[in-house]
């Protein structure tokens, strides 16, 4: 099975090809995020004529400045792109592009239905029309792309809900700021109601060792992911993924105190991807490593067992 890639579609033939032929140095393909995708590339150049993206694409330029030529219907521009500037290319917009310099960039591809859901969630707006942008400064978009880049590079240790939260925030920001018609944002206040919050908390405690997507938590509350994340944080003071991490740490604390399971075993049992990831979050919560916590709480020190002798 071919690895998932961001594809360009030839306007004349309908044939597809990867956005660049080189293999990404970072890709979210192996973590299988739904509705969005990340790639990070270093390429010697780029050239493509009469193509369009299947999905909406937000790109951040990295490292050195570069000169790019971009055309779309009614527009032709040569632009100097500085590091950390972003560009936005709407889905299915015919265009051509060229850059003859070596450059590095990261992109997030957002499926149209993912963005449309975000637009509808914030304003009830349907038929969203994005406006292309070249080389603009938008620190929030840049930080979200790089946050997803780092998460993909590490194999998504924080979990699917964390990545989905960033992608949803990116989609909402793009819908708010780069559409032909700016949607009026519907504000949500007051948090989840008592029954919604109880259902979500019960669900998290029943499934905390699993990688729970944000969409699953939102479905339990009967809300869209965007509104759920906002209302859950209003109710608890924590983002959904932070609450899940807190539950895992609390469960791990009990196991450290009342079981002989290894620290690695406990980490995996409560849903962390490895011991290092567990230790990072445990120390952030309690100020000490899991090993130091167990030793202090039980009054024990690690014992080096003597080698077994024959007949023992």
pLDDT, tens digit (0-9, with 9 covering 90-100), for 233-264: 999 999 999 999 999 999 999 999 999 999 99
pLDDT of residue 120: 74
Q: How far apart are CA 178 and CA 197, in angstroms?
A: 33
Residues of the chain with pLDDT under 70: 1-2, 122-127, 182-189, 300-312
CB atoms within 10 A of CB 256: 19
H helix intervals, 59-111: none
Among 16, 35, 8, which Cα is nearest to 167's? 35
pLDDT of residue 297: 81
Q: Which residues have a Cβ under 8 Å from the Cβ of 103 and sit 6 or more positions away?
A: 42, 43, 46, 61, 62, 63, 64, 66
pLDDT, tens digit (0-9, with 9 covering 90-100), for 58-103: 999 998 899 999 999 989 999 999 999 999 999 999 999 999 999 9
Alpha carbon separation from 282 to 10, 50, 246, 258 (Å, rounded): 50, 52, 9, 17
pLDDT of residue 185: 55
Element at 248 (helix H, strand E): helix 240-258
pLDDT of residue 2: 55
């Amino acid at each position: 099975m071919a690895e998932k890639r961001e594809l360009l579609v030839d306007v004349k033939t309908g044939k597809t090809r990867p956005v660049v032929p080189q293999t990404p140095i970072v890709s979210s393909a192996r973590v299988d995020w739904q509705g969005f995708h990340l790639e990070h590339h270093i390429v010697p150049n780029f050239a493509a004529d009469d193509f369009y993206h299947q999905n909406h694409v937000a790109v951040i330029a990295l490292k050195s400045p570069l000169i790019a030529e971009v055309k779309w219907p009614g527009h032709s521009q040569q632009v100097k792109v500085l590091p950390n500037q972003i560009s936005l290319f709407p889905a299915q917009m015919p265009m051509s592009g060229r850059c003859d310099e070596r450059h590095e960039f990261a992109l997030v591809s957002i499926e149209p239905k993912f963005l449309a859901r975000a637009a509808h969630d914030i304003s009830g707006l349907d038929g969203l029309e994005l406006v292309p942008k070249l080389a603009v400064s938008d620190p929030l978009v840049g930080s979200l792309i790089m946050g997803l880049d780092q998460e993909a590079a590490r194999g998504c240790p924080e979990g699917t809900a964390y990545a989905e939260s960033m992608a949803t925030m990116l989609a909402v920001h793009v819908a708010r700021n780069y559409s032909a018609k700016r949607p009026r944002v519907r504000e949500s206040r007051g948090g989840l109601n008592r029954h919604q919050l109880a259902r979500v908390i019960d669900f998290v405690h029943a499934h905390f060792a699993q990688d729970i997507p944000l969409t699953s938590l939102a479905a339990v509350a009967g809300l869209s992911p965007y509104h759920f994340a906002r209302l859950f944080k209003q109710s608890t003071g924590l983002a959904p993924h932070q609450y899940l991490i807190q539950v895992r740490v609390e469960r791990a604390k009990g196991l450290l105190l009342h079981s002989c399971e290894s620290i690695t075993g406990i980490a995996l049992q409560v849903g962390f991807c490895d011991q290092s990831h567990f230790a990072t979050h445990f120390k952030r919560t309690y100020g000490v490593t899991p090993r130091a916590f167990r030793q202090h709480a039980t009054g024990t020190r690690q014992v080096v067992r003597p080698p077994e002798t024959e007949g023992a």
